[in-house]
Structure 1
Amino acid sequence: MLLIGTLTKVSSFAFTNISSHSHLLSKRLPPRSLVRPSSSLSMSSPAPSTTYDLLVIGGGSGGIATARRAAQYGASVAVVERGRMGGTCVNVGCVPKKVMWNAAACMEVIHDMKNFGFTGEATFDWGFLKGRRDAYVKRLNGIYDTNLANSAVVKIEGLARLRDGGVTVATSTGEVDIDAKNVLLAPGGYPVFPPGEGISEHAISSDGFFDLPSLPKKSVVVGAGYIAVELAGVLNTLGSDVTLVLRKDKALREFDDLLRDTLDGEMLRQGISILRNTGGVASIELEGGGGKRVTCSDGSVVEGADCVLMATGRAPLTGPLGLSSAGVETTRGGHVKVDEYSETSKPGVFALGDVCGNVELTPMAIAAGRRLADRLFGDVPNAKVSYDMVPTVVFSHPPIGTIGLSEEQAKAKYGEDNVKVYRSKFANLWYGVFDIPFDEKPPTAMKMVTYGPTEQVVGLHVIGTAADEMMQGFGVAMKMGATKADFDSSIAIHPTASEEFVTLAPWGLSPQESGAKVSPLNGADVEPKVKSKL
């Protein structure tokens, strides 16, 4: 099996097979400081005639997880990677982003500390944090290398493309053919820029955010997805003057309306300027003094920006792999088509992770890879990952936790009369001692979406303090098919924010509850009044 993994750190010659959008590649690639020069590539594998049970191309999360799991079963495994190990998540994604979010969370605590009797001032040093963050990421790169070696997985430095029976790897010393019994494609994705005058020259991608040497005084963030709201929140909280440019009305359009509406209000309250229904950015041009002028399609203009960050989407990194000549089918959007067992249209060739476009999350890729290895090498013939009820978090300010269907999706799927919705909105106890009007206290908002006479929970959504940490346990419950009555039967941990999910009114009166007669809801939404958390 050949695994083509996350090629997130690739030098320019790697993209010679990409014919479309070539003028954008320089801005789509990771920051140049994270790209290993081609002269440092080397071949550390056994002789090219070696046939591997699994050849992994790319050292991203999904690829490494599959490789190590396969090796545990005794399979011969190699990983082909051209850059630093860990892929997008470790180098320009989840890990460094959470470090920056943690710093912003510290700033929020510093801002709040006077309400708890603390006095004093604090200064923030972006360069210090960047140094610490980059050193941490570098240490993780080394840990990945060590783990591969400890698992007896061979690492091959180079760039691979598919051929019959294996791959051809371009190394610093030339091309080498490597045979493999199976193939897995997991190249990940890369940031995409929209067309427009000056955009590719004067904007950075989300990858480039981690290469910023200092905190921009004025930032323009373009995009409506989770990357856009996360980085806009970090920049704003740490002290940058932030404008968020939306092509339509609100960010996070695919999320439940409770989440997107609450976040929208909070971003405004925190001082983020939001330009709505702009149709996107039309052009970026330099001003005198080094600033940037951003002009939107609707005529809106932002002047004097130090940083313009485009978070307008990502594309699967399939160009270098030679998929069409190898007979691997892709969608119109370029994602690799796979079945429920991660197998592509070509027998023996598999794919997982962002390249498939199905739940593009690091833990999802890891789980899919391990299940694939179980099936191919662990004598578990029906092993496959489930893409249902996947919990996830948006590290916005405040954070969002969500799993399952939105209210709108549930009603479309099951019919409005079969869906009951429970809501709650309150001020977290953290803000209890704040001497400010209640309406100025940041809210926590929750929604439970249930289906059918048993009130099975099919959607759970929360935005507010600690939302990122409370969702994991509830995700387990929902995977087990929990109902509203099951939530009610769990005694609350007090005082916490998460206890609200197991005390949603009316508590203990679901049809499943022993002694309960008819649900008082009769299909209507339950909307308790906004309250303080006691």
Structure 2
Amino acid sequence: MAEQDYDFDLFTIGAGSGGVRASRVAAAHGARVAVAEEYRVGGTCVIRGCVPKKMLVYGAHFAEDLEDAAGFGWTIAGKSFDWIKLRDHVQADVTRLEGLYGQTLSNHNVTVFTERATITGDHQITLASGRVVTAKTILIATGARPHIPEFPGHEHVITSNEAFHLDSLPRRILIAGGGYIANEFAGIFNQFGSKVTIANRSDTILRGYDEAVRDRLLQIAMVKGIEFLFRAQFEYVEKQDDRSLRVKLTGQDERVFDCVMVATGRVPNIEGLGLETVGVELGERAQIKVDAFSKTNIDYIYAVGDVTDRVQLTPVAIREGQAFADSVFGKGAPYAVDHSCVPSAVFSHPPIAAVGMTESEARNQLGSVRVYQADFRPMKHVVAGRSERALYKMIVDAANDRVVGIHMIGPDAPEIMQAAAIAVKAGLTKADFDATCAIHPTMAEELVLFK
């Protein structure tokens, strides 16, 4: 088919962060672009992920802030919390952001189809309405969804998707999982007054984060009243007449909860896309396999974001979408996204932030390393009478003094880490940190005061 015979130069399936970025950048390069989205423009992050979750995190922090205010001389009488008010405010802002994402596509003359799209032939896409269109290039950016394990009664559980829409706060909630989603929602519900229990099938939370940091979170969370059950998997969940849930976990007696949430990983959304029609290759986790330039084994089909299961983070999907659009439709040389040294955060209570190698990774890969650590009580906590301590950790390659990892848990750790991540990515040395004057008094100054 001649190029001018295609309906579009690019057809993107999925209007999440990666798909929207790729589409608008491709359009800015002069491509004729269409996007199909069957749910809501914005994807997981904007609609039911990191953005509304961070708003809940902010709301939850006020529980401790109001307590701590007394140490600073404030008397706050009659305080109360209205879950419905917060929930509805958050959803209103999600709707606002959805409109902005749609406006961005419209401003770049991207055609938006608010329906499901399936690949039905070579360069061919069929919409749910029955319309058939063609495209020179197809991009799949359908993201991922929460994984729900199979066990008797699994239909009674919720995921993070539904957590944003609860009609009331559960008095007792069980959260299954040990990753960032489980620990973030545990902190949120705990601060809102729920009795929170985390059940994890292994004996480790936040696998992949530095051991000292995740151990500190476990200690602090337990002090805050969050209960942890390790090596516990579902045997069954039964709904009672009063709508409560009777739960049996391996190695545990039956327990009753008002809500059970599973946060046991996410799986790529590849069903019903018609990938088998054209022979797109999948990996062992049902992810779409791509090369460094996000191209599949089919020359004109690409994929970015969580559906590729490379690094399931919104900023990574955005970078992949940008690189794809620039490389395929821009005038410059093609380039790939560097997936190494990606900073990340867990918006737990308190939050965690990390970049680069953990101590164990560095010792395994580099051999000789130097480890610097600051274990301190933030000034705000001292005045408030709170015993909670922050922990900062720096990992240095002993062979060349290069900082290869920074790991933090404490107030505002993610905000501090963004700048520190630049230094680690740039390959700066411990001497470069030492040569930088501290900003005093701050928590961040600990990064340039390690001894």
Under TM normalisation by the shorter chain, which class is it?
A: over 0.9
Q: Which residue of 1 aligns with 2:403?
A: 457
Structure 2 counterparts to residues 1-40 of structure 1, below 5 A? none
Distance 1:434 1:141, change over 3 A: closer
Hey, what's the Cα distance between the residues in 2 that align with 1:333 and 1:73? 34
Deviations 1:171-198 (CA, angstroms, capped at 9, x unpaired): 3xx3222111111111101111111111
Hey, what's the Cα distance between the residues in 1 that align with 2:387 and 2:316? 35
Secondary structure of 1:367 counterpart: helix
Q: Which residue of 1 aligns with 2:383?
A: 433
Secondary structure of 2:286 counterpart: coil
Instruction: Verify: 1:153 aligned to 2:106, yes or no.
Output: no
Hey, what's the Cα distance between the residues in 2 that align with 1:81 and 1:166? 18
Q: Which residue of 2 aligns with 1:391?
A: 343
Hey, what's the Cα distance between the residues in 2 that align with 1:325 and 1:196? 32
Q: Report if aligned partners of 1:250, 1:264 keep a CA contact under 8 Å in 2.
A: no
Q: Report if aligned partners of 1:233, 1:396 keep a CA contact under 8 Å in 2.
A: yes
Q: Report if aligned partners of 2:390, 2:410 keep a CA contact under 8 Å in 1.
A: yes
Structure 2 counterparts to residues 74-473 of structure 1, below 5 A? 74-121=30-77, 122-171=79-128, 174-199=129-154, 201-278=155-232, 280-303=233-256, 305-415=257-367, 418-435=368-385, 441-473=387-419
Deviations 1:424-480 (CA, angstroms, capped at 9, x unpaired): 110001112234xxxx61111011111142221111100001102101101111111
Secondary structure of 1:321 counterpart: coil
What is the deviation of 1:382?
2.9
What is the deviation of 1:300?
3.8
Structure 2 counterparts to residues 436-515 of structure 1, below 5 A? 441-505=387-451
Hey, what's the Cα distance between the residues in 1 that align with 2:355 and 2:282? 28
Deviations 1:115-171 (CA, angstroms, capped at 9, x unpaired): 111112310000011111111001111111111111111111221122444332333
Hey, what's the Cα distance between the residues in 2 that align with 1:341 and 1:471? 28
Hey, what's the Cα distance between the residues in 2 that align with 1:408 and 1:323? 39
What is the deviation of 1:381?
2.1
Secondary structure of 2:203 counterpart: coil
Hey, what's the Cα distance between the residues in 2 that align with 1:169 and 1:259? 49
Q: Report if aligned partners of 1:393, 1:401 keep a CA contact under 8 Å in 2.
A: yes
What is the deviation of 1:50?
5.0
Q: Which residue of 2 aligns with 1:62?
A: 18
Q: Report if aligned partners of 2:391, 2:408 keep a CA contact under 8 Å in 1.
A: yes
Deviations 1:272-312 (CA, angstroms, capped at 9, x unpaired): 1111222x111111234321111112234322x11111111
Q: Which residue of 1 aligns with 2:27?
A: 71
Hey, what's the Cα distance between the residues in 1 that align with 2:207 and 2:220? 16
Deviations 1:84-135 (CA, angstroms, capped at 9, x unpaired): 1100001110111001000011111012111111112310000011111111
Hey, what's the Cα distance between the residues in 2 that align with 1:262 and 1:167? 52
Range moving further from structure 2, 380-389 or 85-94: 380-389
Hey, what's the Cα distance between the residues in 2 that align with 1:400 and 1:111? 22
Secondary structure of 1:195 counterpart: coil
Amino acid at match of 1:426: F
Give the percent of matched residue pairs that are identical in Structure 1 and Structure 2: 39
Q: Report if aligned partners of 1:165, 1:180 keep a CA contact under 8 Å in 2.
A: no
Distance 1:267 1:383, change over 3 A: same
Amino acid at match of 2:88: G
Secondary structure of 2:336 counterpart: coil
Runs of 4+ in structure 1 over 6 Å off: none
Count how many residue pairs are aligned between Structure 1 and Structure 2: 447
What is the deviation of 1:258?
1.3
Hey, what's the Cα distance between the residues in 2 that align with 1:149 and 1:380? 25
Over the aligned positions, Cα root-mean-square deviation in angstroms equals 1.5
Amino acid at match of 1:211: H
Q: Report if aligned partners of 2:121, 2:277 keep a CA contact under 8 Å in 1.
A: no
Q: Report if aligned partners of 1:220, 1:245 keep a CA contact under 8 Å in 2.
A: yes
Hey, what's the Cα distance between the residues in 1 that align with 2:388 and 2:124? 54
Deviations 1:52-92 (CA, angstroms, capped at 9, x unpaired): 11111111000000001111111111111111110000111
> 5+ residue gaps in structure 2?
none
Q: Report if aligned partners of 1:168, 1:175 keep a CA contact under 8 Å in 2.
A: no
Hey, what's the Cα distance between the residues in 2 that align with 1:382 and 1:300? 58
Hey, what's the Cα distance between the residues in 2 that align with 1:277 and 1:79? 43
